[in-house]
Amino acid sequence: MGEATRPIPIPDETTKTFWDGTVKHELLIPKCKDCGKFHFYPRPFCPHCFSNNLEYVKSSGKGKIYSYAIQQRPTVPGIDAPFITALVTLDDAGVRLMTNIIGIDPDPQKVKVDMAVEVTWLDINEEVALPLFKPAS
């Protein structure tokens, strides 16, 4: 298990299903049962049709980098700079998640928009696991 030096999410009624999934290393994405569209971040209604008839669907965790930035200053406790923040578009859900890219040097010659990535997990403790992404194998 990792050390809890990063900011730790505090699940609420709306996000509990998502965070419960991460502990099992499952990336669960909200999907509307009425219009059939995925959305992210978890919320109590569909942002497309405003229905509250939602379910969570397990994602493969495979995606592509939509955008990224290499952070040069240690602005987040528990993360040493430089580090990569990115928006990743999931292949199977089409939604974008803000995340960190790990397993690659934070070098603009190595990190690319549209680079294939996959989810990996940082186990903080027995109640919290964070979904991070790494280059696809």
Residues 78-101: tens digit of each pLDDT: 788 899 999 999 999 999 999 999
Dist CA 133 CA 117 (whole Å): 6
- Rounded mean pLDDT, 26-36: 98
List phi, psi (to 5°) of 110: -110, -35
Amino acid at 81: A
More confident site: 75 or 58: 58
- Rounded mean pLDDT, 2-31: 89
| pTM score | 0.91
